[in-house]
Amino acid sequence: MAKNVILFIGDGMGLSQISAAIYNQPGFSLERFPVIGFQSTAAADDLITDSAAAATAMATGQKTRNNAIGVDTLLQPLTTIFDVAKGQEMATGVLVTSTLVHATPAAFLAHQSSRSLYEQIASDFAASDVDMLIGGGRQYFDRRSSDDRVLTGELKARGVAVYDYFSNDIFRLNPKTETPFIYFTADNQPLPAFQGRDYLPAATELAINYLGKRSPQGFFLLVEGSQIDWSCHANQPESFFSEMEDFDQALKVALDFALRDKNTLVVVTADHETGGMALNPGSKHRRLSLAFTTNGHTGSMVPVFALGPGCELFRGIYENTAIFEKLKKVLESKEP
């Protein structure tokens, strides 16, 4: 099927979020996807999932309890889609607008009983064979309270290039294809988009260029719009719209690449809905009256959009665990 796979996760991006973004600004990239499905997002122990359990389900094909990162309900480590990609000798990368060790990216590369074990998750990241990491959270690698390790030093010693926002402009970064790299966009959490964070689209392009050259077997890239969730937790429409716009710009980069390349599957989904967002009466195009029912997550199903070779697998209604099965099928049935 596809040589490359790009998985976009809009954290907290339910159907209301997508509707609001499209009504606010027509021409949203999701309108260009030919295949749509729905996934139900429940955790093993709760109909209302958190990002840890939902990302673990998508990353491993196993339901787990809320807070768990890449482990089953008995806390045993699970094989992830990144392991499957590496088994196919594909290049792999993670690009997020939160810290790298935050729940969603963590579930794809780490195995820990709790999402709040940030330093242990950072250790798992450092021990992984992922080729590219872009996101915040340098402090969990370098200024640790649980031990004296300096993970960036260990990574450099292993030949991994380490960059950060302080010394390298990501808009000019040109990482060597031969070398894995990590780029820290912030010491802790990156800024919200409305306060000036703008690297996601450019970093998506960088990631595609870098990973595309890194392995002849193709690449698997995870991109997360992490702060859509936070703006909905905070019930803040303005912040929400700027996060969706940022996410869409990044998606547009990937979509344009996939349509040119013709050998890349792009899948876009969410881990859960956040805020119980509603488009209330009185809403008009570009002047929406958004309301929220909660500061937390809800149990609504979330849409799945797919484009490219293998996209038809993503039609229908299924559990979040099926995302792993479908992606695995694509990765394991590549043309030789």
Residues assigned a catalytic role: 51
For residues 4 and 49, which CB has a smaller minimum distance to Zn ion in the complex? 49
Q: Is residue 224 at the binding interface for Zn ion, with CB under 5 A as the rule? A: no
Shortest Å distance, C-beta 274 to Zn ion? 5
Scanning residues 225 to 244, which ones bind Zn ion (CB under 5 A)?
Answer: 229
DSSP state at residue 79: -
- By beta-carbon proximity to Zn ion, the closer residue of 9 and 258 is 9
With CB under 5 A as the rule, give the number of residues binding Zn ion.
1
Whichever of 76 and 295 has its CB closer to Zn ion, that residue is 295
> Read out DSSP for 265-333?
EEEEE-S-EES--EE-TT-BTTB--EE-S-SSEE---EEEEEESTTGGGG-EEEETHHHHHHHHHHHHT
Contact present, 16 and 273 (Cβ < 8 Å) = yes
- Least Cβ distance, residue 9 to Zn ion (angstroms): 12
State the nearest-atom distance from the C-beta of 329 to Zn ion, in Å: 29
CA dihedral 83, 86, 87, 88 (to 10 degrees): 130
Nearer to Zn ion, 52 or 265 (CB): 52
Q: Could you tell me how far CA 62 lies from the centroid of its own chain? A: 18
Three-class SS state of 48: coil
Nearest residue to Zn ion on Cβ basis: 229
Number of other CB atoms surrounding residue 130 within 10 Å: 24
- Nearest CB to Zn ion, comparing residues 229 and 248: 229
The upper half-sphere exposure of residue 175, i.e. CA atoms within 13 Å in the direction of its Cβ, equals 30
How many C-beta atoms lie closer than 10 Å to residue 335's C-beta?
8
Whole-number Å distance between alpha carbons of 104 and 123: 16
Question: Which residues in this chain contact Zn ion in the complex, by CB under 5 A?
Answer: 229
